[in-house]
Amino acid sequence: MTELNYNAPKEVKELRIINTIELEDFAQEIVPHGGFNYMAGGSGDEFTLRRNVECFNFKGILPRMAADVEFPDTSTKIFEHELKVPFIMAPIAAHGLAHESKEAGTARGIREFGGSLMSISAYSGASFEEISEGLGDTPRWFQIYMSKDDELNKNILDEAKADGASAIILTADATVSGNRHRDDRNEFVYPFGMPIVSRYLTGTGANMSLNNIYGQSKQKINLDDIRFIKEHSELPVFIKGVQTPEDALAAMGAGADGIWVSNHGGRQLDGAPGSFEVLEEIAVAVAGRVPIVFDSGIRRGEHIFKALASGADIVAIGRPVLFSLALGGWKGVKSVFEYFETDLKRVMQLAGTQTIEDVKNARLKDLK
């Protein structure tokens, strides 16, 4: 595939992270303008993008004192995977915009950290083989954007399973591109190809716009797609983009093995509430029958804590990982995972919670 002239950062170094908010500012200094705004931007007026982070301030953690906590245990389990932390890499397209190592760099950083999991986007800039080399034995899930041709969908599911994917993520909130003003102003196109989707969609090389790519994907997702993926892949299926209890229940009725609460990081429907604002009511409806993964807006350990206390089983992190990849390559990715682990342990100790189960039972206070 022909690649456009795109000067992605190349440096590999450990990062000293004080907080992840400032990573965005640092990354903006070194990532090409169009690529940075694609990663950092949202849709429309970016209300939902901002709300995703801000809404965590509407709930407060009620700490328990003298709780005999010295060394908090962050380990947890999702399906067959024993993890040392309750957070994973969210599926995000085109890591090559952040760093020349692309998803292979992200994968190695997660492997070197150890005890987490990577969600691989179908819109990756690296191939299954390249990502696999970085991951080694690290668990991975695969996020599919459905083709309009089910035979091609079967092919990509077969390839993902052969690559070691242990679950499939059906993204249901991105059948068309959000109204992304930053990308429109910059006339953004992907500067490199997407090897995974190029296997089953045509014309997905360099110089493709968002509308070009979304236009080739299935734009009429329904509950039958859950059944189709389960039947063909014989793997657990998450439905990603759930924002209402009704949709969670409908997905479970169609056989979904997990619910992924997300608004696509504020990149799709602007004007939607923050993802955290809808989590608790969805968790009440799900009632522990299937696991819940949560994403959108995670920037601190306290955000992870609050999401778990509101019903999530696993938290997925996106932009902070990409910005860390830009700043330090695989070592930057390892650094940001270490930051979140340390920050979560600090919050757990201060809140008087020894285990992740204790966190899930912690009390939050409405601050509105």
Vertex 148, ends 135 and 241: CA angle to 5°?
60
Those residues with Cβ within 8 angstroms of residue 335's Cβ, 6 or more apart along the chain or in another chain: 14, 15, 16, 17, 324, 328
CA pair distance 236, 62, nearest whole angstrom: 35
262 labeled binding residue: yes
267 labelled binding-site residue: yes
DSSP letters of 313-364? SEEEE-HHHHHHHHHHHHHHHHHHHHHHHHHHHHHHHHHT--SHHHHHT--E
199 in a known ligand binding site:
no
Q: Is 108 among the annotated ligand-binding positions?
A: no
What are the structure tokens assigned to 348, written together?
Answer: 């757990």
CA dist., res. 149 & res. 252, Å (int):
25
204 annotated ligand-binding residue: no
Phi-psi region of 86 (alpha: psi -120 to 50; beta: other; left: phi over 0): alpha
Q: Is 111 annotated as ligand-binding?
A: no
Answer yes or no: is 138 a known binding residue: no
The answer on whether 297 is annotated among ligand-binding residues is yes
Q: Is 72 annotated as a binding residue?
A: no
> Strand, helix or coil at 82?
strand
Q: Cα–Cα distances in Å, from 80 out to 159, 236, 314? A: 21, 11, 14
Say whether 171 counts as a known binding-site residue.
yes
Ligand-binding annotation for 91, yes or no, is yes
* 219 is known to lie in a ligand binding site: no
Q: Is 355 annotated as a binding residue?
A: no
180 is in an annotated binding site: yes
The verdict on whether residue 38 carries a ligand-binding annotation is: yes
Residues 293, 10 contacting (CB under 8 angstroms): no
DSSP structural state of residue 96? G
264 given a catalytic annotation: yes
The three-state secondary structure class of 292 is strand
Cβ pair 217, 254 in contact under 8 A: no
Among the listed residues 95, 99, 264, 303, the single catalytic one is 264
Tell me: is residue 143 an annotated ligand-binding position.
Answer: yes
Does residue 326 have a known ligand-binding role?
Answer: no
Residue 208 dihedral angles phi and psi, to the nearest 5°: -100, 135
Task: Confirm whether residue 16 is marked as ligand binding.
Answer: no
Q: Which two tokens stand for residue 320?
A: 């902070």
Residue 331: alpha-carbon gap to chain centroid: 19
Task: Output DSSP code: residue 298.
Answer: -
- Say whether 64 counts as a known binding-site residue: no
Calpha distance 17→79 (Å, rounded): 31
Instruction: State yes or no: 264 annotated in a binding site.
Output: yes
Q: Which residues are annotated as a binding site for FMN?
A: 91-93, 121, 143, 171, 240, 262, 295-299, 318-319
Binding residues for glyoxylate: 38, 145, 180, 264, 267
Task: Give catalytic residue positions.
Answer: 264
Residues annotated within a binding site: 38, 91-93, 121, 143, 145, 171, 180, 240, 262, 264, 267, 295-299, 318-319
